[in-house]
Amino acid sequence: MNIGKMTFLFAFMMVVSGCGPRVMDDFHRAGEDICRELTVELRGIDHIEELLEKEGSLEKKFQKLVDLMIAAKIASGKRGGALAVSEGPYSQKLRKELTRIYEIEGASEIIERAQKEPLIRLGAFDP
C-alpha cells in the first residue's frame, strides 16, 4: 500500500453527512483523538527497532480508527458508499509523521503489516 492510500484512510477525520450535527461532532472528535494518539506515538519513533516495539500498539490504534469508520458508515446508512471527510488539525501532523516514518529503511513494511488486518476488516465491511 502506498503512503497516499494509507494517508487517505488514516489521516482524515470522518464527518458523516447523513447524521445529525451532534453525531457528526462525536465521530469527528473521536477520529481526531485517534489521529492525535497515532501522531504522538509515531513522534517517539526514530529507529526501526522502536517501530518494531510499537507495531502492536499502532495496529490497535488503526483498529480503533477502522471501528470508528465502520460505526460512522452504519450511523449514516452509507454502507458501500463514501463518507464525506473533513481534515482535522491532527490530520496534517499525522501525515507528516507517517511520511517521516516511511523514510526509515524497512518501516513501510512494518506500518503496512500493522494496517493489514484493520484494512481487511474495513474492506470486508465495505467491498
> Mind giving me the DSSP string for 110-123?
HHHHHHHHHHHHHH
User: Which residues constitute the domain of residue 121?
Assistant: 3-125
pLDDT band at 43 (very low <50, low <70, confident <90, very high): very high
Q: In which band, very low, low, confident or very high, does the pLDDT at 18 lie, cut at 50, 70 and 90?
A: very low
Total domain count for the chain?
1
CA distances from 56 to 23, 51, 63, 87, 89 (A): 30, 9, 10, 26, 25
For residue 105, pLDDT over 90 is answered with yes
Angle (CA) 114 120 122, round 5°: 105
pLDDT at 50: 98
Sequence-distant (6+) residues with CB within 8 A of 29 are none
Burial class (CB in 10 A: 0-12, 13-18, 19+), 101: buried
The structure's pTM equals 0.78
Residue 42 pLDDT > 90, yes or no? yes
Mean predicted confidence (pLDDT) in 93-114:
94
Q: For all residues of the chain together, what is the average pLDDT?
A: 79
> What does the alpha-carbon distance between residue 10 and residue 56 come to, in Å, rounded to a whole number?
16
49 pLDDT more than 80: yes
Q: Sorting pLDDT into bands at 50, 70 and 90, what band is 104?
A: very high
Residue 56 exposed, middle or buried by CB count within 10 Å (0-12, 13-18, 19+): exposed
Q: What is the pLDDT of residues 54-86, one digit of tens each?
A: 999 999 999 998 898 888 888 877 655 555 555
